[in-house]
Amino acid sequence: MSLESVEHWVDETSALTRPKNVVWCTGTPEEYSNLVDVMLRDGTLIRLNEQLYPNSYLHRSDPNDVARTENLTFICTHTKEAAGPNNNWMSPSEAKTGVGKLFEGSMKGRTMYVIPYLMGPVGSPSSKVGVEVTDSPYVAASMFLMTRVGKPALDQLKSSDEFVPGLHSLGDLSPDRRFILHFPEERLIWSIGSGYGGNALLGKKCFALRIASWMAREQGWMAEHMLILGLQDPSGSKTYMAAAFPSASGKTNLAMMVSALETEGYKVWTVGDDIAWLRIDEEGRLRAINPEAGFFGVAPGTSVSTNPVAMHTIEKNTIFTNVAMTPDGRPWWEGIGTPPPAGLLDWRGGVWNGTGPAAHPNSRFTVPARQCPIIDSDWEDPRGVPISAILFGSRRSTLIPLVTEALSWEHGVFMGAGMGAETTAAATGKVGVVRRDPMAMLPFCAYDMADYFAHWLAMGKAMKHPPAIFRVNWFRKGENGKFLWPGFGENVRILKWILERLRGKTGARETFIGSLPEDGSIDIHGLSVTRDQMKTLTALDREGWRREAEEMGAFFRKFGDKLPPAIRDEHARLARSLNSSTQYQS
Ligand code: TSX
Ligand code: MN
């Protein structure tokens, strides 16, 4: 009986961490409100304006603990090679003894919450159980919003032994004693020293991406950093697409997009905004589930104009983290669309003096997905939704066209594998430097990315009807430094073009970088974008691509002999096309 193995692991864990008491969560609303009450009493949560934001709260994290910490994130496999050049590695024995010491007595005087949770819809063959043990009531409450806690997990445990244990403790919150450890071979997660987001809500990046990426390779499915959306056309039929973008590139905005072509019958429905688990169905099609049950979205920049659906989603039952607060108890952040009122409290809780951001740039909202007004009717379908197109996107102010269709699955995998993204200040300090972030999975793939590319290639071979693959770029700038494409709700015009390509209804010119939209094939009626701008957005800059191909080559060489031949071949084909003046020219 597997509940016994959960109990056994919990006993072991409490012997190590020595909490004052142990609370098992079954997922009831009463448990959630008890957690909230505990936090309101000790100041961990602040109640927001109950009329305007019912049952919603503000949490201020430790100022040293405001984002994922990739440099403190490790993959603990028996060999370093298994983790690949793309991960920090620590040996399992060093991890268990070294970091194990930090867990000794780490929960003394505190409550340990045991949270069984299900990732994925109830009854889905794709869904998986996790159990997080944590001494943070904020983490516990966030898990209630982000996953299916309690009964759905316990029910699945009755019929299967499989669960991913995750041990989390706040420790002393010092970055010197902070470690986010993954043991993919035994499907175990250890996290100490951070109470923030992806470091601490272990179902999300740690399980649903890192551990799941490992399981997916072994079991023949995919765990991807992708939103999932449904595009409804004028006939009412829906086409589902999954899209990989690096963190903070607007995935939540795209997933919840209000279509600019709604009056013509094109409408977007949300399935997920961050993670997709994909498997091949009996008919040889790719199907996706959203393993999560909530959104942990970046607040700054979210407004009635950039994402009205998110603004409605977060009107109730939401936990805000590190946002600013108005004197009348409303959340506030840069880009919310209203001016900062006098007496605004910044994310640290002091009166904002007008210098620096009032909300932390990585401040967040945590909210149940079911509150999203455009959540798709099939978002909890246990079979998942059928995926017809995969999109790869990132911020590129030059070179990368608005949309490019891959010439084949292999070419599409190459497109994703070679994807570069311009850095934003938040993570790296340097702005506008292009870094490779294959499939937006560089921080999340728990094994050698050369093997990950091979897995993608194998999945393509295993599908009778693989999705078509597209590269998109909403972030191209003109000579004047201004964005050439209006983006946001207007992106539906690109989704429409993609839909027409899937149906063979619109033309494209085949070039050596892929198929580009024929002049006039993207619907721009009613837009102020000129045909000239469209030409720039879909142009092919040979000189720029020569540099790009070189940079890709330097990146791919890091994987040595492990790089799959198909990726090498696609890269060689691109380089060859660039060096000849005639081939594939458009
Ligand atoms: O999310 C974005 N999307 C996808 C929306 C569905 N963002 C925000 C990225 C940061 C998280 C975008 N930013 C998008 C976009 O399509 N495009 C841009 C760039 C841009 C910014 C401002 C304007 C236009 C483009 N403003 C005006 O044109 C007035
Ligand atoms: Mn993400």
pLDDT tens for 345-390 read 999 999 999 999 999 999 999 999 999 999 999 999 999 999 999 9
Do 439 and 573 fall into the same domain?
Answer: yes
Tell me how far apart the terminal alpha carbons of the chain are, to the nearest angstrom.
63
Do 186 and 231 fall into the same domain?
Answer: no
- β-bridge pairing 164-169 and 364-368: unpaired
What the block records as the tokens of 106 is 């780490």
Which of 227, 229, 253 for mutating ligand 1's site (highest number of atoms within 8 Å of CB)?
253
- Please give the pLDDT value at position 149: 98
Q: pLDDT band at 583, cuts 50/70/90?
A: very low
- Please give the pLDDT value at position 581: 55
Which of 423, 472, 484, 488 for mutating ligand 1's site (highest number of atoms within 8 Å of CB)?
488
- Please give the pLDDT value at position 3: 86
Q: Indicate whether 50 belongs to any domain.
A: no
Percent of the chain with pLDDT over 70: 98
Q: Tell me the C-alpha distance between 114 and 166, whole Å.
A: 10
Q: Indicate whether 531 belongs to any domain.
A: yes
What the block records as the tokens of 331 is 């959340």
Q: Tell me the C-alpha distance between 431 and 424, whole Å.
A: 5
- Give the pLDDT confidence of 140-150 residue by residue, as tens digits: 999 999 999 99
- Please give the pLDDT value at position 557: 96
Domain termination site, one of 189, 220, 251:
220
Q: Indicate whether 97 belongs to any domain.
A: yes
Contact 319, 366 (CB under 8 A): yes
Taking the centre of ligand 1 as the mean of its atom positions, its distance from the CA of residue 306, in whole angstroms, is: 7
Among the atoms of ligand 1, which is closest to the Cα of residue 395?
9
Do 182 and 228 fall into the same domain?
Answer: no
Whichever domain contains 479, its CATH number is 3.90.228.20
Do 406 and 554 fall into the same domain?
Answer: yes
Is the predicted pLDDT of residue 453 greater than 50, yes or no?
Answer: yes
Whichever domain contains 197, its CATH number is 3.40.449.10
Q: Indicate whether 369 belongs to any domain.
A: no
Which of 306, 394, 492 for mutating ligand 1's site (highest number of atoms within 8 Å of CB)?
306
Q: Torsion angle of alpha carbons 547, 550, 554, 556, nearest 10°?
A: 120
Select the more confidently predicted residue: 321 or 431. Answer: 321
Q: pLDDT band at 229, cuts 50/70/90?
A: very high
Q: Indicate whether 522 belongs to any domain.
A: yes
Report angle CA 382, 472, 561 to the nearest 5 degrees. Answer: 85
pLDDT (mean) for 154-183: 95
Taking the centre of ligand 1 as the mean of its atom positions, its distance from the CA of residue 412, in whole angstroms, is: 24
Sequence-distant (≥ 6) Cβ neighbours of residue 77 within 8 angstroms? 83, 89, 92, 183, 184, 185, 447
Do 216 and 230 fall into the same domain?
Answer: no
Domain termination site, one of 192, 220, 248:
220
Atom 28 in ligand 1: residue holding the nearest Cα: 486
Do 160 and 214 fall into the same domain?
Answer: yes
Atom 14 in ligand 1: residue holding the nearest Cα: 487
Taking the centre of ligand 2 as the mean of its atom positions, its distance from the CA of residue 50, in whole angstroms, is: 30
Taking the centre of ligand 2 as the mean of its atom positions, its distance from the CA of residue 293, in whole angstroms, is: 14
Average pLDDT over the chain, rounded to whole? 96
Q: Tell me the C-alpha distance between 119 and 106, whole Å.
A: 27
Q: Indicate whether 446 belongs to any domain.
A: yes
Do 249 and 204 fall into the same domain?
Answer: no
Please list the residues that pair with 403 across neighbouring strands: 472
pLDDT (mean) for 538-550: 96
Do 182 and 264 fall into the same domain?
Answer: no
pLDDT (mean) for 245-263: 97
Three-class SS state of 187: coil
Q: Tell me the C-alpha distance between 292 and 289, whole Å.
A: 9
Domain termination site, one of 220, 242, 264:
220
Atom 11 in ligand 1: residue holding the nearest Cα: 250
Residues in contact with ligand 1 (CB, 6 Å cut-off): 248-250, 253-254, 257, 301, 474-475, 483, 486-488, 491
Is the predicted pLDDT of residue 1 greater than 60, yes or no?
Answer: no
- Cα distances from 343 to residues 190, 326, 352, in angstroms, run 41, 7, 7
Do 386 and 409 fall into the same domain?
Answer: yes
Q: What is the pTM of this model?
A: 0.97
Atom 27 in ligand 1: residue holding the nearest Cα: 486
Among the atoms of ligand 1, which is closest to the Cα of residue 254?
6
Contact 504, 270 (CB under 8 A): no
Taking the centre of ligand 1 as the mean of its atom positions, its distance from the CA of residue 233, in whole angstroms, is: 23
Atom 9 in ligand 1: residue holding the nearest Cα: 250
Enumerate the H helices of 160-236 as residue ranges: 197-200, 212-219
What the block records as the tokens of 270 is 């949300």
Sequence-distant (≥ 6) Cβ neighbours of residue 10 within 8 angstroms? 22, 114, 131, 133
Atom 19 in ligand 1: residue holding the nearest Cα: 475
pLDDT (mean) for 82-91: 98
Q: Tell me the C-alpha distance between 290 and 288, whole Å.
A: 7
- Give the pLDDT confidence of 275-307 residue by residue, as tens digits: 999 999 999 999 999 999 999 999 999 999 999
Q: Torsion angle of alpha carbons 220, 382, 491, 407, nearest 10°?
A: 30
Taking the centre of ligand 2 as the mean of its atom positions, its distance from the CA of residue 96, in whole angstroms, is: 28
What the block records as the tokens of 334 is 């840069």
Percent of the chain with pLDDT over 90: 95
- How many Cα neighbours within 13 Å face the side chain of 9? 20
Atom 5 in ligand 1: residue holding the nearest Cα: 488
Q: Indicate whether 347 belongs to any domain.
A: no
Do 432 and 558 fall into the same domain?
Answer: yes
**Type of residue found at 195:** G
Taking the centre of ligand 2 as the mean of its atom positions, its distance from the CA of residue 361, in whole angstroms, is: 15
Taking the centre of ligand 1 as the mean of its atom positions, its distance from the CA of residue 115, in whole angstroms, is: 37
Ligand with the closest atom to the CA of 472:
1
Do 132 and 164 fall into the same domain?
Answer: yes
Q: Indicate whether 102 belongs to any domain.
A: yes
Could you give the number of structural domains in the chain? Answer: 2
- Please give the pLDDT value at position 586: 44
Q: How many CB atoms lie within 10 A of CB 314?
A: 24
- How many Cα neighbours within 13 Å face the side chain of 393? 26
The residue range of the domain holding 199 is 2-45+72-220
Give buried/exposed letters for 525-537 (b at 16+ CB in 10 A, else e): eeeebeeebbebb
- Please give the pLDDT value at position 585: 43
Do 171 and 265 fall into the same domain?
Answer: no
Please list the residues that pair with 368 across neighbouring strands: 294
Atom 23 in ligand 1: residue holding the nearest Cα: 486
Taking the centre of ligand 1 as the mean of its atom positions, its distance from the CA of residue 486, in whole angstroms, is: 7
Q: pLDDT band at 427, cuts 50/70/90?
A: low
Taking the centre of ligand 1 as the mean of its atom positions, its distance from the CA of residue 258, in whole angstroms, is: 13
- Please give the pLDDT value at position 432: 84
Taking the centre of ligand 2 as the mean of its atom positions, its distance from the CA of residue 247, in whole angstroms, is: 5
Atom 25 in ligand 1: residue holding the nearest Cα: 486
Contact 290, 379 (CB under 8 A): yes
Ligand with the closest atom to the CA of 250:
1
